[in-house]
Structure 1
């Protein structure tokens, strides 16, 4: 895996955007700087979800259950490739979607691939979205699910060895925040955190990170839409100055779980992900950073059907085999 301190290539040296991603981006309507229509965005995502019998990869176990937590009932979907295993390491997966969209259905294929390639049981959390849910509801629900897993270890066949948190984009933001809550609450059971192109700084001043300018437009997610897309979260109590909202602003990152940080070469959020990985490393956290140079933001959910990007799940499996 690449060294964390590897220098980012210049634009002249970068691999070109993958041609299949480039074709898809060309067909995508131009981004705006006004908040999206919530219902329309959610419906569009749902329309792309395949029928249940056509979802890949096929697994031995896919089950919808309700986690009864100390903050209320939280829907989750449980996946396992081998339904007959005696015990499982567990990955709690948190989908992306700018805090206002996405679901266990829209990211069902991501959870399936994680279960298939890692051999772990994946528990995907259908957390409450903005603007209906105020901050920090989603964080509390995800932490509640973690505690529910520990409390129901026998029924869930948890092996008590691996309890990983994984998320993409806004989901990775929530994962990072939950690791803070867990540490501050003396909950020591999280063994790994997996952050796919994380949104760890909701201050979108373009001067903060070069990638906000370098990848500002033409690659799918555009810099000018970032503030608008996250506005539903911010306007419902999520202050970008709060480390639970912008994890990179937390001063003390010591003692957090072993981390895998995945970034994409053509992502406006690339450099904040790299900076967060560096800060974790400087705080003594064991960090692996892998950059998929020809990918854009969202590639884990949108382009993992391309084999070189599906490799992100194999990379995750390799990471989880490391001792926490």
Structure 2
């Protein structure tokens, strides 16, 4: 996959200038609570309103010790069971919610003409690793068990997410392959974090004044994985799994102006080398988190079109088998 760095896109240039003009402090300069408020405010400012859909409703996974909020989106009506994308939001395992990714989930559901189930997993530092993964796994198991009552095709459940959510989705896909989670038919990995080891050479790409910086990633990982020894577990860093063979087909988005770019490209290279079908899209001039900044980045609709078309095609092939 491409490794050459190029200049930033005109849209990203304008966005970064506006961010600098606004003078907002980086997330790592804030408390987690204040960072969540700032992240949510940025999302409201940078995203178009979500599209209307035939159905949007809130649900819950009720567990003995906790409740996991969910939101179900349907992009089309059908008497037959629909395929479903289990979506896990980004935000460095510290930020993000159903609300911050509502417009993105609506856009995906509309393009898929199918169901999307978003998961409001627990956040660090209040709930460090593996809380987010435990909630993602519980939600996937619940979806598979409740598929019939939800009019979902249990054989065509995909997993996906952006950034930290892409991390969780990649892990669920591998767990499904290994039999420790319901199997996934596809994985949609949107600028995922797949190697959480904070080695000295981590985040070599220039990220100064970018939407996401290496310093912010270190802050996120420090909250999510305060025990450094856990960062080398493949259930935290899926790039470190001994084998990716047998994982479900993938759509992988990487952005050249993103500190997570190289690990995402490495993951795509490994998936392909180990026999997994990958549709890889690399946007050399774009930065992290663009999919929740569609007011500023004109490429977003086309990216979502391709991601959804790739998943729809995978579901259609599976239905024909």
Q: TM tier, shorter chain?
A: 0.7 to 0.9
CA spacing shift, 1:272–1:55, aligned 2, 3 Å: same
CA spacing shift, 1:236–1:95, aligned 2, 3 Å: farther
CA spacing shift, 1:263–1:201, aligned 2, 3 Å: same
SS of equivalent to 1:221:
coil
Q: How does 1:1-324 map to 2 (within 5 A)?
A: 5=1, 7-11=2-6, 14=7, 16-18=9-11, 19-27=13-21, 29=23, 34=28, 36-47=30-41, 55-68=49-62, 72-83=66-77, 85-187=79-181, 189-205=183-199, 207-208=201-202, 212-235=203-226, 239-303=230-294, 306-320=297-311, 321-322=313-314, 323=317
SS of equivalent to 1:27:
helix
SS of equivalent to 1:240:
helix
TM-superposed deviation, 1:253: 1.3
Deviation readout 1:277-315 (Å, 9 max, x if unpaired): 111111211111101222111101123664422212111
Structure showing the higher helix proportion among its residues: 2
TM-superposed deviation, 1:32: 5.6
Report the TM-score when normalising by structure 1. Answer: 0.87
Alignment check: 8 A CA contact 1:221 1:267 kept: yes
- Partners of 2:178 and 2:65 lie apart in 1 by 18
- Partners of 2:51 and 2:126 lie apart in 1 by 32
- Partners of 1:95 and 1:21 lie apart in 2 by 22
SS of equivalent to 2:172:
helix
Deviation readout 1:216-275 (Å, 9 max, x if unpaired): 213221122221222110126882111111111111111111111101121111111000
Alignment check: 8 A CA contact 2:239 2:267 kept: yes
Alignment check: 8 A CA contact 2:172 2:181 kept: no
Alignment check: 8 A CA contact 1:143 1:182 kept: no
Alignment check: 8 A CA contact 1:261 1:290 kept: yes
SS of equivalent to 1:281:
helix
Deviation readout 1:42-94 (Å, 9 max, x if unpaired): 1223345659xx94211111100112358753210001122455321100000
SS of equivalent to 1:162:
strand
Alignment check: 8 A CA contact 1:259 1:288 kept: yes
CA spacing shift, 1:271–1:91, aligned 2, 3 Å: same
Report the TM-score when normalising by structure 2. Answer: 0.87
- Partners of 1:138 and 1:153 lie apart in 2 by 22
CA spacing shift, 1:255–1:100, aligned 2, 3 Å: same
Superposed CA RMSD: 2.6
Alignment check: 8 A CA contact 1:204 1:226 kept: no
